[in-house]
């Protein structure tokens, strides 16, 4: 058994075994027919108790970028929030947000966020199940359950830079399974069932500090983002380690454009008239077929600096999405405690 072979579990089937599931390569039958938590089911009471024991110094690390940190949003599709403050008397303030796009900064996707044209949405739900008034697969399910577990950071950006091959932030660099394994080995990380996996590429900070308004206009016309390779091998690796949540400091978890000629694309599908063509990405497989909780645009640089300084890449992690019934996503409200 090598350092990061998938952990042996009597409870959860391997991705290879899921080929025999109905539909194939789905986890729908594992957690009950009406399940709405997906991989958050890996966050058992024992997993949470063990995670709490990781707190030593009590140092906390904010993993959320501020609302508005990426305005104007680089894809050009997410409006800026307008914050209004009002007062009914000299000693009182209230406020509100208009045009608050819930996925315009550090965020977590709900399981209703993405479907697959071959099988529908997670658990076999259909598009008609989802309206602002229906709670099915909404982000409130994550808020009700709470996200508390052992966080593990893989600082791929730092590791590759140390090897003399830094990630070009204006490229679609594919973080491969080999990159993740090599980073874990260099950091001395051994995975456990239920881990919350954080992957640092360096892109979010690059976007925030290096891309001016003109650069963002050009980016929207030719989107290129480093991220996880969009391959079945990547999906199998993530599932076989039984991560409860996978969060990356980039625009969409995976690289974009997707890995060329990959083994995930459904042949013959016409691209949508508007928006990103998800055919060939891993969002559809992770969210829809396996029920993965996914996070994007997480703020990982401060945490990464501390982990590099003390050599400890594990910590207690908490996240509390908004309790918004029927929401397709939410700010993460995430924190690491070491």
Q: What is the pLDDT of residues 191-247, one digit of tens each?
A: 999 999 999 999 999 999 999 999 999 999 999 999 999 999 999 999 999 999 999
pLDDT band at 11 (very low <50, low <70, confident <90, very high): confident
The answer to whether position 8 is within a domain reads no
Whose CA is closest to 251, among 322, 213, 305, 202?
202
On average, the pLDDT of the chain sits at 93
- Residue 271: inside a domain: yes
Assigned domain for 171 exists: yes
Query: pLDDT-derived band of residue 145, with 50, 70 and 90 as boundaries?
Result: very high
Residue 98 burial by Cβ neighbours in a 10 Å radius (0-12, 13-18, 19+): exposed
In a domain, 9, yes or no: no
The structure's pTM equals 0.94
User: What is the number of domains present in the chain?
Assistant: 1
10 located within any domain: no
Task: Give the per-residue pLDDT at 10.
Answer: 60
Looking up residue 91, the CATH number of its domain turns out to be: 3.50.30.50
pLDDT digits (tens, 9 = 90+) for 231-279: 999 999 999 999 999 999 999 999 999 999 899 988 888 888 887 888 8
The tokens of 140 are what? 């409130």
Gap between the Cα atoms of 246 and 223, Å rounded: 22
In angstroms, how far is CA 254 from the centroid of its own chain?
Answer: 9
Q: Does the CA dihedral 127-132-134-138 come out positive or negative?
A: positive
Distances (CA, A) of 201 to 64, 176, 187, 219, 325: 16, 12, 16, 18, 32
Answer whether residue 307 is part of any domain: yes
pLDDT at 1 over 50: no
What residue numbers bound the domain in which 220 lies? Answer: 17-337
Cα–Cα distance measured from residue 253 to residue 112, given in angstroms and rounded to the nearest whole number:
17
2 lies in some domain = no
Q: Are 198 and 153 in contact (CB under 8 A)?
A: yes
Burial of 213 (0-12, 13-18, 19+ CB in 10 A): exposed
| Residue corresponding to tokens 């008397």 | 89
In a domain, 1, yes or no: no
What pLDDT is stored for residue 9 in this prediction? 54
Q: Any bridge partners for residue 109, and if so which?
A: 329
């Amino acid at each position: 058994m090598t350092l990061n072979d998938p952990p042996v579990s009597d409870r959860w089937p391997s991705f290879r075994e899921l080929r025999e599931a109905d539909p194939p390569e789905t986890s729908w039958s594992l957690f009950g027919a009406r399940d709405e938590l997906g991989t958050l089911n890996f966050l058992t009471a024992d997993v949470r108790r063990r995670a709490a024991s990781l707190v030593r110094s009590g140092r906390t690390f904010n993993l959320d970028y501020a609302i508005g940190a990426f305005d104007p949003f680089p894809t050009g599709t997410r409006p800026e929030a307008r914050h209004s403050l009002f007062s009914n008397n000299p000693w009182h303030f209230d406020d509100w947000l208009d045009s608050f796009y819930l996925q315009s900064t550090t965020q977590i996707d709900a399981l209703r966020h993405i479907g697959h044209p071959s099988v529908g949405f997670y658990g076999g739900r259909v598009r008609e199940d989802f309206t602002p008034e229906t709670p099915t697969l909404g982000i409130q399910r994550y808020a009700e359950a709470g996200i508390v577990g052992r966080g593990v950071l893989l600082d791929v950006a730092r590791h590759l830079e140390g090897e003399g091959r830094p990630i070009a932030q204006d490229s679609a660099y594919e973080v491969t399974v080999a990159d993740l394994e090599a980073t874990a080995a260099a950091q001395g990380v051994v995975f456990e069932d239920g881990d919350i996996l954080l992957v640092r590429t360096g892109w979010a900070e690059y976007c925030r500090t290096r891309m001016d308004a003109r650069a963002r206009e050009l980016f929207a016309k030719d989107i290129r983002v480093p991220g996880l390779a969009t391959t079945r091998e990547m999906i199998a690796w993530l599932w076989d380690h039984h991560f409860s949540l996978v969060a990356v400091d980039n625009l969409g978890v995976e690289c974009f454009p997707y890995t060329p000629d990959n083994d995930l694309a459904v042949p013959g599908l016409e691209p949508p008239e508007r928006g990103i063509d998800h055919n060939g990405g891993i969002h559809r497989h992770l969210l829809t077929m396996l029920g993965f909780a996914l996070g994007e645009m997480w703020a990982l640089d401060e945490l990464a600096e501390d982990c590099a300084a003390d050599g400890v890449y594990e910590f207690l992690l908490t996240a509390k999405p908004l309790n918004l019934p029927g929401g397709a996503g939410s700010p993460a409200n995430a924190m690491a405690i070491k």
